[in-house]
């Protein structure tokens, strides 16, 4: 019995002593920090995706608290709502930005763009693109090895095995831009998010001359310029045999989609057209 009591006493005493020690050390080495940093960090989504340009949410919150002008800071994941909340808490002016979404600008599915060789190296787009043009005749398009899907922290990207191309889940995409940076071919672009998931864009990044591009891929942009002519808002420019739709000017009238001879311009989220029979090429829409 005596033993038991001694044991209990010794252990309890030791515990108390160590607790005291910990308390003192914590007191002595306490780092003085603006408490607002913690608060702001809590308001941020906590994804640590790096989409803001900082290493993580902590870095972002420090910058938000310390900088007087936070107009240049933006959390793409939390979006405007989150930024507004933080700005009002800090008494600063937040930047207004349109919500964006990642868009894969390549329609080179297995069907549209036949494979002409077989890649047999480390399964990564960076490895393949540093080695050669790719498995198809198109040296600009998606390589389909999924670096973008691997880098996405939100599970918003996945390679569709049927097409061999990545697909973006708009619900999950936060427009953090990680995939844009990861893609060695610069196929992915952040574009303005429209209601109902509507979007119109040139689903091609091939800068080869029309004939070469068309030979490699059925749905390549051949740089014919028809879309630019038909666009009432001057939103489309053709440069280096490639059309580009400026999403800040595009009003989504869909004229270019109907005009495109190869079906390189695609539309999503629109109700079916009345005259769908006229343009079988645009049947790509979902």
Residues lying near other proteins in the complex (CB under 8 A) = 115-122, 124, 126-127, 130-135, 137, 139, 208
Contact 174, 49 (CB under 8 A): yes
Q: Which is nearer to other proteins, 89 or 119 (CB)?
A: 119
Q: Which is nearer to other proteins, 146 or 263 (CB)?
A: 146
Q: Which is nearer to other proteins, 123 or 160 (CB)?
A: 123
Least distance (Å) between residue 178 CB and other proteins: 11
DSSP β-bridge partners for residue 167: 158
- Tokens encoding 211: 């004939």
Least distance (Å) between residue 127 CB and other proteins: 5
Contact 102, 157 (CB under 8 A): yes
**Pairing status of strand 165-168 against strand 157-160:** antiparallel
Q: Which is nearer to other proteins, 118 or 196 (CB)?
A: 118
Distance of CA 134 to the CA centre of its chain: 23
Q: Which is nearer to other proteins, 124 or 237 (CB)?
A: 124
Least distance (Å) between residue 22 CB and other proteins: 28
Least distance (Å) between residue 49 CB and other proteins: 14
Least distance (Å) between residue 121 CB and other proteins: 4
Give long-range contacts, CB 8 A cutoff, 24+ apart: 91-99. 92/64, 92/68, 93/69, 94/70, 95/70, 95/71, 98/192, 98/193, 99/175, 99/192, 99/193
Contact 95, 73 (CB under 8 A): yes
Q: 137 φ, ψ to 5°?
A: -75, -10
Contact 65, 86 (CB under 8 A): no
A 10 A CB-CB count for 210 gives 16
Q: Which is nearer to other proteins, 101 or 143 (CB)?
A: 143
Least distance (Å) between residue 134 CB and other proteins: 7
Contact 243, 199 (CB under 8 A): no
Contact 141, 108 (CB under 8 A): yes
Q: Which is nearer to other proteins, 78 or 141 (CB)?
A: 141
Least distance (Å) between residue 131 CB and other proteins: 5
């Amino acid at each position: 019995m005596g033993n038991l009591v001694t044991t209990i006493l010794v252990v309890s005493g030791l515990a108390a002593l160590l607790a005291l020690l910990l308390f003192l050390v914590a007191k002595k080495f306490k780092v003085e920090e603006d408490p607002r940093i913690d608060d702001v960090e809590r308001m941020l989504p906590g994804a640590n995706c790096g989409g803001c340009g900082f290493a993580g949410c902590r870095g972002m919150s420090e910058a938000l608290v310390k900088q007087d002008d936070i107009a240049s800071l933006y959390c793409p994941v939390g979006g405007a709502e989150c930024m507004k909340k933080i700005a009002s808490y800090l008494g600063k002016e937040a930047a207004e930005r349109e919500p964006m979404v990642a868009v894969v600008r390549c329609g080179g599915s297995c069907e549209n763009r036949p494979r002409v060789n077989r890649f047999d190296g480390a399964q990564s787009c960076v490895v393949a693109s540093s080695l050669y043009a790719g498995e198809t005749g198109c040296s600009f398009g998606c390589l389909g090895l999924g670096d973008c899907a691997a880098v996405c922290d939100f599970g918003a990207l996945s390679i569709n095995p049927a097409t061999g191309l990545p697909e973006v889940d708009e619900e999950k995409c936060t427009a953090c831009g990680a995939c844009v940076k990861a893609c060695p071919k610069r196929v992915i672009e952040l574009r303005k998010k429209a209601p109902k998931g509507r979007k119109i864009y040139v689903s091609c990044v091939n800068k080869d001359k029309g004939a070469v591009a068309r030979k490699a891929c059925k749905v390549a942009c051949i740089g014919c310029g028809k879309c630019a002519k038909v666009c009432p808002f001057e939103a489309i420019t053709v440069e280096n045999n490639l059309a580009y739709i400026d999403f800040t000017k595009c009003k989504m009238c869909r004229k270019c989609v109907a005009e495109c001879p190869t079906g390189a311009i695609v539309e999503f989220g629109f109700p079916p057209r009345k005259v769908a029979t006229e343009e079988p090429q645009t049947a790509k829409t979902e």
